[in-house]
Amino acid sequence: MNSPAVIVHDSTLRDGQHAVRHQLDTDQISTYAAAADTAGVPVLEVGHGNGIGASSRQVGLSKTDDATMLVTAREAMPHSRLATLMLPGWATSTDLRSAIRHGVDIVRVAAHCTEADVTERHLGVIRDLGAEAQGVLLMSHLAQPEDLVEQCQRMVGYGAQAICIFDSAGTYLPEDVTARITAITSAVDVPVAFHCHNNLGMAVANSLAAVRAGARVLDACARGFGPGAGNTQLEVLVAVLERYGHPTGIDLRLVAQPADLAERTLMPTPPTIDSTSLVSGLAGVFSGFKKPVLAAAQQAGVSPWDVFVELGRRRVIAGQEDLIPDAINTLTLASMGERP
């Protein structure tokens, strides 16, 4: 009865884009946004999988440009807040101004878990423009709790009004989440959020562990729509939170409708935990590497499992897909008894 409220941040129309190579169109965006709004989803995140300004040959060209995606979603949801993501280096202050002009209420500025310094300028710009500025640390499993605390404190000092850590590889177990969220919530005075991928099948359990450790915002996607094994499944998370007495403001019966809609209209098939997704989580490699690894491994005639293990050894992060051929070359030389 006294369980704290949890804000569910729906990233179906942003993180889900990774699963379809950023090819969602305006009809898909509008229809899903309207359904999520009707169900009472408080925040809907929209954009290219890698955020505004990221459409490129390197990480994938969007079918729909940033402004059109944002305007389409904004017009379809009179109640939900509109959010987007940006990564410094891909997006610029010009992209931020355009996004906020087109109705964005919340902008998340994301950086690798040890590089919070790159968010300083953009967090300040967002605050100056009157939107809510949030800081995100990607691949958070690559840093110890005390290091994440330091990075989070820096982002709060730069103006972040909330902090989110991403389990970008779906590699956490509940105790890993508890250690990190407990440390962060004890050190900052802004809301703490958690975003989980499902490579080990632990996304809902890990999200619940985050709430118990003090997180008050959880990310999720309808039907788990997302890269690799997908994300925390929105409708399941809402149901579990309700069972534990955490109010979300989302209608459990109505949230089944955007979930069904997402499966029917957004994705070829719902995400599953196959062997490639599993090794991605075990190796601690970003889930978005799945498709390029499978393609490159097939062409080279090597095991994708071995490629993921090698990439994990190299501690690769999103945007370093160009290291896949190097990893394959290392495996090929090793198989011939040669040193790379």
- What tokens does 85 get? 């993501």
**319: number of Cβ within 10 Å:** 18
Closest CA to 44 of 78, 18, 80, 68: 80
- Angle made by CA atoms 61, 62, 65, in degrees to the nearest 5: 125
Per annotation, catalytic residue among 18, 48, 102, 141 = 18
Half-sphere exposure of residue 227, counting CA atoms within 13 Å on the CB side? 26
d(CA 147, CA 244): 31
- What tokens does 315 get? 């501690």
d(CA 328, CA 190): 43
d(CA 1, CA 102): 39
Amino acid in the structure at residue 13: L
- What tokens does 201 get? 């099948």
d(CA 111, CA 98): 21
d(CA 208, CA 324): 34
List CB contacts of 220: < 8 A, sequence separation 6 or more: 8, 9, 10, 11, 207, 231, 232, 233, 234, 237, 238
Q: Check if 18 is active-site.
A: yes
d(CA 84, CA 100): 9
How far the first Cα of the chain sits from its last, in Å, is: 60
Computed from CA positions of residues 128, 54, 21, 315, in that sequence, does the dihedral angle turn out positive or negative?
negative
What are the catalytic residues? 18
